[in-house]
Amino acid sequence: MSVTGLYIHVPFCFSKCDYCGFYSIVPQESYVINRYLDHLKKYIDKWFKLDYISKNIKSIFIGGGNPTMLGLKGIRFLIETIADHLDLEQIEEITIETNPETLSEDIAGYLAEIPQIRLSMGIQRLQNDELILLGRNARINSVIRALDTAFNSFDNISADFILGVPNCPSIASELQKLIEDYPFKHISAYFLSVEENTPLQRKVDDGKLQDPNDIGPEEMFAVAEVLEKHGFEHYEISNYAKPGYRCKHNLGYWNNDDYIGFGPAAVSCINNIRYSEVPCLDKWLNGTSPEKEELSLIDQRNEYLMLHLRLLIEGLDLDVFEKKYGLQKEDFYKNLNRHISSGELIKKDNIICLSNLGMVMANDVISDLFQ
C-alpha cells in the first residue's frame, strides 16, 4: 500500500481556547517557529526521498494549532519545502487551516496562488459573548474581516463551528444568514466536548457551567436543516459539503487510506501501523521517536466499521465488510438487526446507514457492533 495523504501539524496558536484538547502552544519568540520549520524540513526531506511515501500523495492538510501563525515567510518556506518533493499541480486538494485573527491579506494572496487550495477557517460561534465563553481570541468583527479577505481570494472555503455550547441559543439562524452572505463550499459542525485538563473541564467540574454532554441534539438538526436547504449534503456525521466539495483528505481517513503526519502530535498510519509523534514541541525537536502501535485485525475491523458508519450516504457495505473481515460472530448480526428494528440503523440493499435517530447516539450504536 502507498501513502495518499500528508498531514502537517503546526503547533502554534495566538492564544489558547478554553476547550482546546489539541496540542499547541503560544510561541513567545519567533525563533521557536524557525526551529520548528527547520526541523520539519529535515523530516520532509528525509521521508519524501522514499517513493512509497511521496509517489501517490493525493491530498495535503496543513492543520493545527493555527497554521497562519507561521506568518507569510513561514508559510512560504513550508510550501516551498513540500514543493521540492511533490508537484503541487498533481495534488488533488491542499487544505490549510486558519483562524480569523491571523489571516492577513498578504497570506491570503500567497495561498490563493497554490493549485487546488482549500481554506478551512475556525469560526466556531457567531456571537461575541459565545466566543468569549469559549475563550476564543477572535471577535465577530475580525471574523467578518477575515471572511472578506478569504472570499476575495479563494473559491473553496470551509468553516468550522461548535455546537452544544452551554447557555447559548442555536446557531442555526445566524448560520443561515452567514451562508447567504458568503458562499462556503463546506461546513464542519462538531459538538463541544470536554477535554481533560482544560479550563472548560474545570468550569464544568466546579459546577460553573452546564456539562455539554447533557445538551440535546436539537441544534445539530436545526443546523442540518439550514445547510441542506442551502444545497449542502450532510455526508458525514459532522460534515456538510456542496456537491463536489467534500474534504478529500478527510475522506482518505474515513476510507482507511494510509497517511503520513509530520510535526509534534501528528499521527501516521502505514500498513496498519500507527505512529504517533510526541505531543511536545521540545521533545519532538530533540528527536523523540514516535510511539508505534500495530493495529490488530480486530482494531482494523472496528475502525473500518466506525469510519464507514459515520459516512451518512455511503454507509457500511456489508458485502465488502464481510469480504474484508469474514463472516461475523452471531452477536454482530443480532445487534445489527436490533438497531435496524429500533430505527437507529437503516438497511438498504446490504448497505447500512445511520438514521437521524442513530446519529444522536452514534457512539453507542457503533460500539455495540464492535468486537
Question: Contact between 16 and ligand SF4 (CB under 6 A)?
Answer: yes
Q: Three cell numbers at 291?
A: 510511539
Beta strands in the chain (DSSP E): 3-10, 59-64, 93-98, 117-124, 157-163, 186-191, 233-236, 239-241, 258-262, 267-270, 273-276, 291-294, 316-317, 345-348, 351-354
> Within its chain, how far is the Cα of 153 from the centroid?
23
Tell me whether residue 193 or residue 337 sits nearer to ligand SF4 (CB atom).
193
Interface segment toward ligand SF4; rule CB under 6 A; list 19-27, 252-260, 274-282, 344-352:
19-27
Closest-CA residue to 158 (of 183, 136, 180, 141): 183
Draw the binding track, 219-238, toward ligand SF4 (x: CB under 6 A; -: no contact).
Answer: --------------------
Tell me whether residue 99 or residue 239 sits nearer to ligand SF4 (CB atom).
99
Q: How far is the CB of 232 from ligand SF4 (least distance, A)?
A: 23
Question: Contact between 264 and ligand SF4 (CB under 6 A)?
Answer: no
Q: In this chain, which of 2, 22, 126, 190 binds ligand SF4, going by CB under 6 A?
A: 22
Q: How far is the CB of 130 from ligand SF4 (least distance, A)?
A: 14
Subset of residues 114 to 173 that bind ligand SF4, contact rule: CB under 6 A: 122
DSSP assignment, residue 171?
S
Q: How far is the CB of 19 from ligand SF4 (least distance, A)?
A: 7
Beta carbons of 253 and 60 less than 8 angstroms apart: no
Task: Tell me the backbone φ, ψ of residue 291, rounded to 5 degrees.
Answer: -75, 140
Give me the residue whose beta carbon is nearest to ligand SF4.
Answer: 20
Q: In this chain, which of 3, 6, 13, 312 binds ligand SF4, going by CB under 6 A?
A: 13
The helices-and-strands tally (H runs, E runs) of the chain is 16, 15
Beta carbons of 278 and 284 less than 8 angstroms apart: yes
- Burial (0-12, 13-18, 19+ Cβ within 10 Å), 60: buried
Polymer length of the chain: 371
Tell me whether residue 70 or residue 360 sits nearer to ligand SF4 (CB atom).
70
Task: Tell me the backbone φ, ψ of residue 86, rounded to 5 degrees.
Answer: -120, 145
Q: How far is the CB of 46 from ligand SF4 (least distance, A)?
A: 27
Q: In this chain, which of 6, 8, 17, 107 binds ligand SF4, going by CB under 6 A?
A: 17
Q: How far is the CB of 10 from ligand SF4 (least distance, A)?
A: 9
Q: How far is the CB of 183 from ligand SF4 (least distance, A)?
A: 24
Interface segment toward ligand SF4; rule CB under 6 A; list 13-21, 142-150, 291-299, 303-311:
13-21
Closest-CA residue to 182 (of 105, 109, 126, 253): 126
Closest-CA residue to 68 (of 5, 142, 177, 174): 142
CA–CA separation, 249 and 228 (whole Å): 22
Draw the binding track, 59-98, toward ligand SF4 (x: CB under 6 A; -: no contact).
Answer: -----xxx--------------------------------
Interface segment toward ligand SF4; rule CB under 6 A; list 20-28, 35-43, 100-108, 243-251:
20-28
Tell me whether residue 124 or residue 149 sits nearer to ligand SF4 (CB atom).
124
Q: How far is the CB of 27 from ligand SF4 (least distance, A)?
A: 12
Q: What one-letter code names the amino acid at 31?
A: Y
Closest-CA residue to 4 (of 77, 67, 65, 61): 61
Q: In this chain, which of 3, 8, 10, 20 binds ligand SF4, going by CB under 6 A?
A: 20
Draw the binding track, 171-190, toward ligand SF4 (x: CB under 6 A; -: no contact).
Answer: --------------------
CA–CA separation, 83 and 104 (whole Å): 23
CA–CA separation, 119 and 159 (whole Å): 8
# of chain residues touching ligand SF4 (CB under 6 A): 11
Interface segment toward ligand SF4; rule CB under 6 A; list 58-66, 105-113, 275-283, 301-309:
58-66
The residue ranges that bind ligand SF4 (CB under 6 A) are 13, 16-17, 20, 22, 24, 64-66, 99, 122
